[in-house]
Amino acid sequence: MGFYENLIVYRKAQELAVYFENTVRGFDRYHKYTVGTELRNLSRRICVLVALANTKTRRLDALSEALDKLEELKILLRICFEMKAFRSFKSFEYSTKLTVDVAKQCEGWLKSQNSGG
């Protein structure tokens, strides 16, 4: 168990990764192995980056990379929506909400670090 597991942002990032693992199962075969794989990989990478950000020496780099990956994830979500990869609009909506929540928390954390906090 890492020291990061009590962080709200880590728990949200983990929720996002688990949500994509479960949601991608419902994608049709083509989407499951193309965009679905990307969703799963990006969300797991974001989890790892948030965990790494709990280390002072790596915090700024890890948070910056996490924000880049979150932006990439937002774009991919929109593409998945346009391709009709999601079974329902609610699934897309919830995915987007979780992604935005994690991004806001990472942005806040990064701002607090840049302002000396």
Question: What are 53-106's pLDDT values in tens digits?
Answer: 998 888 999 999 999 999 999 999 999 999 999 999 999 999 999 999 999 999
Residue 3 pLDDT class (50, 70, 90 cuts): confident
**Is residue 82 within 8 Å of residue 36, measured between CB atoms?**
no
Per-residue model confidence (pLDDT) at position 1? 57
CA 15 to chain CA centroid, nearest Å? 9
Mean predicted confidence (pLDDT) in 25-53: 96
Per-residue model confidence (pLDDT) at position 6? 83
**Which H/E stretch holds residue 1?**
none
Domain hosting residue 108, numbered range:
3-114
Output the domain CATH number for residue 62.
1.20.1440.60
Look at residue 114 and tell me whether its pLDDT is greater than 90: no
Residue 1 structure tokens? 């168990």
**Residue (of 71, 76, 65, 74) closest to 37 by Cα position:** 76
Q: Say how far apart CA 69 and CA 103 lie, in whole Å.
A: 9
**How many domains does the structure of the chain reveal?**
1
